[in-house]
Amino acid sequence: MAGRLKDKVAIVVGAGSSGPGWGNGKCTAVTFAREGAKVMCVDLKRAAAEETAGLIAKEGGEAFAFEANSANNADVKAMVDACMMKWGRIDVLDNNVGIGSTGGPVELSEDEWHLVFDVNVKSFFLTAKHVIPVMEKQGKGAIVNVSSIASIRSPKGVSYIAYNASKGAVNSLTLAIASQYAEKGIRCNAILPGLMHTPMIDFLAEQYAKNEKDHNQAYDKMIAIRNRASPTGKMGTGWDTANAALFLASDEAAYVNGHLLVVDGGITVRA
């Protein structure tokens, strides 16, 4: 396979989907492979990682699945060791994991706060901790962190304080790594997706609709509301996130470092 990531080795953390369909991580892993990368598909659920790796293999790409909790130091070290054992290098690290929890500072429990920060921030810290030394020895590498437009805006009537704060921390983590390791040939950038139609959103819509009298109508209503919220009239998809990740991971972005790339159809510029 030839392409923009030819001969590169990529680790995609969160490479599975939370349900049927195409999430950000799954789309990114497949896109990287289509562009010539060897892809390590990492997910908390082995079956999800194996599904993505299998899709890549069916298209003639090279991939393998690895089960890991990216918020666990031992798991992340094992992940990096396994990649090095198989391919001997790591050119791209793509962090896709993330969860949310509803509620403001009064409503949200302390345990929920810690869980969101463990998954959304600690995991990115740990993967960087173990991958950066490899990239330093190589003299080159690209890290792509998936954040959210929730890191820079909080619409009225929507309370996701832990999610907002954690994604803001991802932005700061990204900028700090970019600054510290630029001289070592390591770039670190973040993608800030807007409203995306992914399996996670389908799950949330189903949860919202399951107690409604007309389930299908309630589900369709929530999806329609999200579509109308975008200036384009529809949500984006995991492929939009994946294409942004491809650019940031590729040598085309060799002089792009410490950038927060908004991928939202224009929501954040709408008054």
Residue 181, domain CATH: 3.40.50.720
User: Considering Cα of 145, then 102, then 151, then 238, what sign does the dihedral take?
Assistant: positive
Angle between the 110-117 and 161-181 helix axes, to the nearest 10 degrees?
30
CA distance 121 to 167: 8
Domain boundaries, position 24: 9-196+237-265
Residue numbers annotated as active site: 163
**Residue 22 covered by a domain:** yes
| Strand 92-95, strand 9-13: pairing | parallel
Is the same domain home to 202 and 115? no
The structure tokens listed for 222 are 């929530």
At 209, is the pLDDT very low, low, confident or very high (cuts 50, 70, 90)? Answer: low
Q: Do residues 252 and 146 share a domain?
A: yes
CA atoms of 157 and 70, how far apart (whole Å): 32
Residue at token pair 């598909």: 41
Q: How many CB atoms lie within 10 A of CB 77?
A: 14
Same domain? For 55 and 164 the reply is: yes
pLDDT given for residue 198 in this prediction: 82
Q: Which of 35, 247, 268 is nearest to 155 (CA)?
A: 268
**Looking at the domain assignment, is residue 4 inside a domain?**
no
The rounded distance, in Å, linking the Cα atoms of 114 and 4 is 38
Quote the pLDDT of residue 79: 98
Task: State the angle between helix axes of 24-34 and 46-58 in degrees (0 to 180), rounded to the nearest 10.
Answer: 30
Cα angle at 239 between 236 and 241, to 5 degrees?
75
130 and 207 share a domain? no
Is the predicted pLDDT of residue 201 greater than 80, yes or no? no
Q: Is residue 153 domain-resident?
A: yes
Q: Give the chain's domain count.
A: 2
Q: How far apart are CA 213 and CA 109, in angstroms?
A: 30
Claim to verify: residue 207 and residue 152 sit in the same structural domain:
no
Q: What is the pLDDT of residues 123-173, one digit of tens each?
A: 999 999 999 999 999 999 999 999 999 999 987 777 889 999 999 999 999
**CB 21 within 8 Å of CB 202:** yes
Going by the DSSP 8-state scheme, the letter that residue 5 receives in this structure is T
- Average pLDDT of the segment spanning 93-117: 93
Q: What is the pLDDT, as a whole number, of residue 223? A: 83
* Structural element, H or E, at residue 81: helix 73-87
* The model scores a pTM over 0.75: yes
Compute the mean pLDDT over every residue in the chain, rounded to the nearest whole number.
92
